[in-house]
Structure 1
Amino acid sequence: MYKPADVTTSPDYPVPDQMKAWVLGTPDQLHLREKPVPVPQRAEVLVRIDAVAICATDLEIIHSGSPAKILGGLPFNKNFTPGHEYMGTVVALGPGVDEFAIGERISVEIHAGCGQCKRCRQGMYTSCLNYGEPGKGHRANGFTTDGGFAEYAVNHINTLARVPDTMSDAEATLVVTAGTSMYGLTELGGLVAGESVVVIGPGPIGLLAVAVAKALGASPVILTGTRDSRLAIGKELGADRVINVAKENAVEIVKQLTGGIGADYVIECAGTEGTVNDAIHMTNRGGKICLAAFPHDPVTMDLAHLVKNNIYVYGIRGEGRSATRRAMTLMAEKRFDAARIHTHTFALADLPTALRYARDRVDDAIKVVVTTRDAAALSSAAE
């Protein structure tokens, strides 16, 4: 039975030596395999994964490999376990860890930066200058180090947030999504209550950006998109006005709602050339645009308009500056119902089906969550 030296365990939470984990094969292929249960080191804990949500970035990693290779880092890793939006239970403590206790329910951030580069010292660990270098201390579980499509994972204590008893496992997996929106609006954007926000694109990050903006006092909060069903959820999460861009001119409506000057903040979550330029033209002078989507192709934009109107543009990649913990607080206090974007649940043994639902938006899937509770089904799927 699992008992590494200097690691604290409990008989109440027995840990096996081996675990089931989905690993990358060739592009677009995953295989359920047995892997050794990882061992937490200093400032780390072992997490029994109870639920994990599927993100569009997971689909990109399964298709193309780790994003670290973009930086000259990892190749396509055929033993890598993706999945980064997970929650679970602490079941073992690394040497000297007393900040968390065995048995506590936690949700996780993706990134633990190296802690020594300029960006990490600024709290921008999602932009760690040693990204993809575990030897330097960087971890991005599900991106560059093994993630959550498995029974267990190791996490740095800086990436953990306690989950209240009133919050379901599925809702706790959404904290990273809410934290990403929080990071873009507050830590990078500096949102102040009373300022206007437009969210372009009612995907998971866009919908929770609406919820976070409203909870923080933004006014008005406007959501644009093409699917009436998604826009309706945006209304439930706090949008003061929704705009179906197939029926109305979003730039004109935003100008009308903001006294003709445009919005203070625009969060672009669609990632198309048209929506990027809409963002530029609906932002007021001195306003800010957060680019939260990853366009697949180069974008031609009205750069002159940005310059002439002193509009600030910044990109965002994931959470940062502990924004996830602040998002957790808002969710725990029921300032918004993040579970509104959770549409489907599957067992971890059915991960390929869950991924298909997320990729193809089957039944208008928004956030698909998989659970690891059915051990028998997981063992059967591995045979």
Structure 2
Amino acid sequence: MKALVKEQAKPGLWLVDVPEPEIGPGDVLIKVLRTGICGTDLHIRSWDGWARRCVRTPLVLGHEFVGEVVEAGRDVVDIKAGDRVGGEGHLVCGKCRNCLAGRRHLCRATVGLGVGRDGAFAEYVALPASNVWVHRLPVDLDVAAIFDPFGNAVHTALSFPLVGEDVLITGAGPIGLMAAAVARHAGARNVVVTDVSDERLELARKVGADLALNVSDGEIADGQRELGLREGFDIGLEMSGRPEALRDMIANMTHGGRIAMLGLPAEEFPVDWARIVTSMITIKGIYGREMFETWYAMSVLLEGGLDLAPVITGRYGYRDFEEAFADAASGRGGKVILDWTR
């Protein structure tokens, strides 16, 4: 089968023929239809410091996908050939304290699909049945392909109650855009999104942001004044991983404000801990999705009319992966999809 492989320990990806994956009694074999390109894939392609530390070559990349089941192992129940499915890309041990308590998203031995084991940038992918999500209701294939990052957005945005709250989102990348759509759908009073890309800020407006602010020529405090906010933001969703973004967010939170932080910083940086303490601000780290509560929430949000179409800005056949990755790396658009049927 064809697959996008990190064949060598240097920048680049290679479209090559590899053996189809084999499945065990508890596994499912899936024909891949669409995949989404993630920031993680960009790191591995560029072979930066994180990739050099965490990835062993050769490796089939990809963890955002939708496909169709072609075979289920003999011990698999409730999943059958022909089912349209996605997959939870965090494979957990099932034995640690958190796994046994039903908190699988907190497993300390998590292995990432397309990072720690071969992934979904291929014509077929194999997964344990316990990691397979069956789409019981019709979902657009492109949207179904990005349930993984959509889940990051939902997990982050719904960490705290949003109804009637003023929400600040720093970072208008694809996950920040989806979080803005969720916050608007969930009843936030004001949704403010910041970034330095005018193209991405325009996408933020399309998904329902009340104010999209370019912080290269304006300040969050200006946005507060424009909206008539006198005490700061109630909820902060930090999606950029940028030190200045978190510092500005903290400086613009109300007393008792709550911050959910998904953006992953490249290195350590100082923050104003005195402000956090005296303003009694809560900061919660977010990683991945709750298994599978977040997946239920995603399906219900879409069923309830949440529209993610504006977030998807690039569609390519898998043979055009170089152009697709360049698009995703540009920092100007939303989500980029690879079609594995053409």
Alignment of 1:1-383 (within 5 A): 19-24=1-6, 25-64=8-47, 76-132=55-111, 140-163=112-135, 166-186=138-158, 189-254=159-224, 257=227, 259-322=229-292, 323-333=294-304, 335-361=305-331, 364-374=332-342
Percent sequence identity over aligned pairs: 28
Shift of 1:275: 0.7
Shift of 1:91: 0.8
Letter in 2 for 1:62: R
Shift of 1:279: 1.2
Shift of 1:227: 2.8
What RMSD over aligned residues (CA atoms) do the two structures have, in Å? 2.4
Unaligned runs of 5+ in 1: 1-18, 133-139, 375-383
What is the SS of the residue equivalent to 2:255?
strand
Closer, same or farther: CA 178–66 of 1 in aligned 2, 3 Å: farther
Shift of 1:65: 7.8
CA distance in 2, matches of 1:122, 1:232: 43
Deviating more after overlay: 233-242 vs 82-91: 233-242
- Equivalent residues of 1:110, 1:159 under 8 A apart: yes
Shift of 1:67: 6.6
Shift of 1:47: 0.9
- Equivalent residues of 2:59, 2:115 under 8 A apart: no
What is the SS of the residue equivalent to 2:289?
coil
CA distance in 2, matches of 1:340, 1:78: 35
Shift of 1:238: 2.0
CA distance in 1, matches of 2:335, 2:247: 27
Q: How many residues of Structure 1 are paired with residues of Structure 2 in the alignment?
A: 340
- Equivalent residues of 1:66, 1:143 under 8 A apart: no
Closer, same or farther: CA 130–65 of 1 in aligned 2, 3 Å: farther
Give 1:381's aligned residue.
Answer: none
Letter in 1 for 2:26: A
Closer, same or farther: CA 255–182 of 1 in aligned 2, 3 Å: farther
Shift of 1:101: 1.7
CA distance in 2, matches of 1:63, 1:205: 21
Shift of 1:289: 1.4
What is the SS of the residue equivalent to 1:304?
helix
- Equivalent residues of 1:221, 1:239 under 8 A apart: yes
Shift of 1:84: 0.8
What is the SS of the residue equivalent to 1:36?
coil
Shift of 1:208: 0.2
Letter in 2 for 1:234: A
